[in-house]
Amino acid sequence: MEFEEFDIVLCRTQIAELRKYTKSMTVLVAEDYPVLQKSLENIFSSLFLEVAVASDGVEALQLYKNKTADKKSYDIVFSDIAMPNMDGVKLTKRIKEINPNQIIIIFSAHQDSNYLLELINLDVRRFILKPISLKNLLDELLLTCRAIYDEKNLSNIIMLDKNISYHKNERKLFINESQSRLSSNEELILELFIRNINQTVSNEEITNYLYLNGIDIESDNVRKTVYKLRKKLPESLIQNTHSIGYSIKTIAF
């Protein structure tokens, strides 16, 4: 048995967190042991948009080539080391020849230690030890999938706090995955603050920015709008420097 017994109820929090990042991702799993293969497929199918499964390296490589032929890619490739026809090390080499940046996670038993240095030299940095525990698997997935998600969305999504994100292209604010409704003025002011992280923005600068975006507003109304915006966010996020202006001092990713 290469999958430890687990209580999925105890992992609900991790799974809920993971689904924020994985729901649009695709993965390829190369594992020859049928019981483990099926267990992984069941778990991954509840997390990822698409799960492709192979029983050896040859089959996995063909699936990978088919994907790239359609000008698509897998976000993550999972592979056992010891497999018939083509092992995980050779599979990794062939995949890296096609896409040097492919993220690969290796399932490794203690007896596979001789292969680890070779895999590290192939720029594989992620290993999950067999027998696989669900907690370790979810911990690794959370780290990896969050990094992939952030890289994909870095140009558009700004994390203002752990559970607060601002989508620049859409000018939308999300708190705990729920959209927080902002007025047009609030959207523009928040956008200006984010463009000037760690810098103080004066009332005059806010007024001018709104004017450039077709909104003519008096200074007193700027203060009222900023006050309303601050009420929708954690108290300390937008800081007020008396008689100078406002700023967002830090962004916590």
One digit per residue, the tens of pLDDT, for the chain of length 253 reads: 355 555 556 677 788 888 888 988 999 999 999 999 999 999 999 899 999 999 999 999 999 999 999 889 999 999 999 999 999 999 999 999 999 989 999 998 877 777 888 898 888 888 998 889 888 899 899 889 988 887 776 557 777 877 888 887 777 888 888 888 889 899 899 988 888 877 888 888 899 989 888 888 888 899 999 999 999 888 788 888 887 889 886 554 4
- In this structure, the answer to whether residues 99 and 214 fall within a common structural domain is no
- In this structure, the answer to whether residues 62 and 120 fall within a common structural domain is yes
- In this structure, the answer to whether residues 61 and 119 fall within a common structural domain is yes
Q: Is residue 129 part of a domain?
A: yes
Residue 212: CB partners within 8 Å, gap ≥ 6? none
94: nearest Cα among 139, 70, 131, 58:
58
Last residue of a domain, one of 98, 123, 153: 153
- In this structure, the answer to whether residues 144 and 161 fall within a common structural domain is no
Q: Determine the pLDDT at residue 253.
A: 45
- In this structure, the answer to whether residues 162 and 147 fall within a common structural domain is no
Q: How many whole angstroms separate alpha carbon 14 and alpha carbon 183?
A: 34
Q: Is residue 108 part of a domain?
A: yes
Q: Determine the pLDDT at residue 153.
A: 63
Q: How many whole angstroms separate alpha carbon 71 and alpha carbon 73?
A: 7
- Is residue 226 packed enough to be buried (19+ CB in 10 Å), middle (13-18) or exposed (0-12)? buried
Edge-to-edge strands of the sheet including 157-161? 157-161, 164-167, 172-175, 178-180
Q: Determine the pLDDT at residue 251.
A: 52
Domain limits for position 117: 8-153
3-state helix/strand/coil string of 66-97 = HHHHCCCCCCEEEEECCCCCCCHHHHHHHHHH
Q: How many whole angstroms separate alpha carbon 9 and alpha carbon 194?
A: 39
Q: What is the CATH number of the domain that holds 188?
A: 1.10.10.10
- In this structure, the answer to whether residues 53 and 170 fall within a common structural domain is no
Pairing mode, strands 104-108 and 172-175: unpaired
Length of the chain: 253
Contact 21, 148 (CB under 8 A): yes
Q: How many whole angstroms separate alpha carbon 169 and alpha carbon 161?
A: 19
DSSP annotation of 142: H
- In this structure, the answer to whether residues 137 and 181 fall within a common structural domain is no
Q: Determine the pLDDT at residue 164.
A: 85
- In this structure, the answer to whether residues 131 and 231 fall within a common structural domain is no
Contact 190, 231 (CB under 8 A): no
- In this structure, the answer to whether residues 55 and 107 fall within a common structural domain is yes
Last residue of a domain, one of 153, 169, 197: 153
128: nearest Cα among 94, 145, 104:
104
The total domain count for the chain is 2
Q: Determine the pLDDT at residue 6.
A: 52
Q: How many whole angstroms separate alpha carbon 9 and alpha carbon 15?
A: 10
Q: Determine the pLDDT at residue 22.
A: 92
| Other Cβ atoms within 10 Å of 171 Cβ, number | 14
Q: Determine the pLDDT at residue 30.
A: 98
- The number of angstroms, rounded, from the C-alpha of 130 to the middle of its chain's C-alpha atoms is 25
Pairing mode, strands 104-108 and 126-129: parallel
Q: What is the CATH number of the domain that holds 23?
A: 3.40.50.2300
Q: Determine the pLDDT at residue 252.
A: 47
pTM of the model: 0.61
Q: Is residue 14 part of a domain?
A: yes
Q: Determine the pLDDT at residue 250.
A: 58
- In this structure, the answer to whether residues 113 and 149 fall within a common structural domain is yes
Last residue of a domain, one of 153, 187, 213: 153
